[in-house]
Structure 1
Amino acid sequence: MDIKGKAVAITGGASGLGAGVARRLAAQGAKVGILDLNETAGEAIAAEIGGTFAKCDVASEESATAALDKLEAAHGTASVLVNCAGIGTASRIVGRNGPMDLSAFERVIRVNLIGTFNMMRLAADRMQKLEPGEFGERGVIISTASVAAFEGQIGQAAYAASKGGIVALTLPAAREFTKIGIRVLTIAPGLFKTPLMDELPEDIQQGLANSIPFPSRLGTPDDFAHLAQSLIENPYINGEVIRLDGALRMQPK
């Protein structure tokens, strides 16, 4: 799909990986919509790239529908959805003080997995009404998993489960959407330089970077965005989960 002139919706687009995707796709001529709960940061990114911001709780049908309505009024129906919204938590299933708080597990699953599914179903319903392009393609949906889906570390049970769910969702969604011309893909990033990573001391960040085989550095939001752009543009990639990790394989802890 040629991204130029296409409407794009990016969840979690106010910072980190989502902001990286927003900047890159806008530079390619896309009409970018930022969906996020952070209004200040979201409005700033939208202003920077000439896009549109809509406040959105991805796990809420009402909020997501209203946000997509706003973007559609500004740019037309989105041909591309990039799901970058997500949260994490660090907790053992059973710790010194007893079992993990169930509500903490539910919150991560709700935002990461249910939020991804919610946005996918709502965006795909709109995409199927678009006129098909080359090869009958109407849309592309890219979600964000993590290497934790495959090598979740101790303390990552909730996060790994949520990202593993996104991985498992990819192929059945791609198979279902063949009849309406929508490709479904997932990127599973490794260690990336995001606002969460920036909270760690510099020596810890460098130690993590050194653990990556090659290149031995943290990934950048534009590394992620570059792959997202390539997936959008290549019409033959579908139903795939692609690791973006510099050959990193996470250890138990």
Structure 2
Amino acid sequence: MEMAGAAALVTGGGSGLGAATAAALAAAGAKVCVFDLNAEAAQAVAARIGGVAAAGDVADAAAVAAALDAAAPLGPLRLAVSCAGIAPPARVVGRQGPHDLALFEKVLRVNLTGTFNVMRLAAERMQANDATSPDGERGVIVNTASIAGYEGQVGQCAYAASKAGVIGLTLPAARELAKTGIRVVTIAPGLMETPMLAGLPEPAREALVKLTLFPHRLGLAEDYARLVLAICGNPMLNGETIRLDGALRLPPA
């Protein structure tokens, strides 16, 4: 998928993985719509990369449709990257009692329903594109799971379930959208240097780094962004979830 002159939507684009991805895509020649729940953060990133901003909830159909409308003047929508997500820790049964059901549902709504919502609405727009290659490619959808979707830790039931759902929808979505030349690929990051981990005390951060193999560090948002570009550039990557974790396997706790 050639990014020069194409439009891209990046959710969660106001910070972390999304902000790095938006910047990398802009550097590759794409025109990016930065979508985030935080309107100020989205606007700041968009201004920095020469894109446009949109704000809202990824699980809200009208908000995502409005973001896609904002991206439309930039060019044909060729790429949608879903980076929006939340990861509040909670045990199935903790000191305060059983896991709050509303919190569980919220995590699923943002991480899984939100990802599906973006995918379905972006795919509808992409199907109207002209093919860009002899293969008939019209668009690429990149979703974000987590290695927690494979080996979730204690306190991650909601997060792990939501990310396992993203992994599970990857292949059937790719199979369905293949007929219109749209690829679907998921990235499952490991321990990443993102705002989700930024608030941890230094001893906790050091403990996380000790878990890593090679490279012996937390992953960087730029590592994720480079993989998005690689996915865009390789048409044989489709229907797969790629672990971006330096061979890390999470322990139980």
Secondary structure of the structure 1 residue equivalent to 2:208: helix
Give the partner amino acid of 2:27: A
Q: Which amino acid aligns with 1:98?
A: G
Deviation, structure 1 residue 94: 1.5
Matches within 5 A, 1:167-246: 167-246=167-246
TM-score, with length taken from structure 1: 0.98
Q: Which amino acid in the other structure matches residue 33 of structure 2?
A: G
Give me the whole-angstrom Cα distance separating, in 2, the residues matched to 1:156 and 1:5: 40
- The C-alpha deviation readout for 1:141-197, integer Å capped at 9, x for no partner, is 000000000000011000000000000000000000011100000000000001121
Supply the AA of the counterpart residue of 1:124.
Answer: A
Residues in 2 aligned to 1:106 and 1:36: alpha-carbon distance in whole angstroms: 20
Residue aligning to 2:12: 12
Q: Distance in 1 between matches of 2:207 and 2:186?
A: 27
Aligned twin of 1:27: 27
**Paired AA for residue 35 in structure 1:** F
2:45 matched residue in structure 1: 45
DSSP-derived class of the 1:242 partner: strand
SS of the aligned residue for 1:136 comes to: coil
Report the counterpart of residue 143 of structure 1 in structure 2: 143
User: Which residue identity is paired with 1:40?
Assistant: E
Give CA deviations for 1:5-58 in whole Å, capped at 9, x if unaligned.
Answer: 111100000000000101111111111110111111111100000010011211
* Counterpart check, 1:163 vs 2:171: no
> 2: distance between equivalents of 1:221 and 1:38?
19
In the alignment, residue 12 of structure 1 is paired with which amino acid?
Answer: G
Normalised by the length of structure 2, the TM-score is 0.98
Q: 1:201 deviation in Å?
A: 2.0
SS in 2 for 1:247: coil
Identity %: 55
Q: Kindly indicate whether the alpha-carbon contact (under 8 Å) linking 2:33 and 2:67 is maintained by their aligned counterparts in 1.
A: no
1:180-227 deviations in Å (ceiling 9; x for gaps):
100000000000001121111233223211210111001000000000
Give the match for residue 109 of structure 1.
108
List runs of 5+ in structure 1 lacking aligned partners: none
The letter of the residue matching 1:120 is M
CA distance in 2, matches of 1:42, 1:130: 26
Hey, what's the Cα distance between the residues in 1 that align with 2:113 and 2:119? 10
How many correspondences in the alignment?
252
Q: Provide the C-alpha distance between the structure 2 equivalents of 1:111 and 1:63, rounded to a whole number of angstroms.
A: 13
Within 1, Cα distance between the matches of 2:40 and 2:176? 37
* Match in the other structure for 1:76: 75
The 1-side partners of 2:84 and 2:96 are apart by 30
Q: Which letter maps to 1:4?
A: A
Aligned CA-pair RMSD = 0.9
User: Can you give the 5+ residue segments of structure 2 that lack an aligned partner in the other structure?
Assistant: none
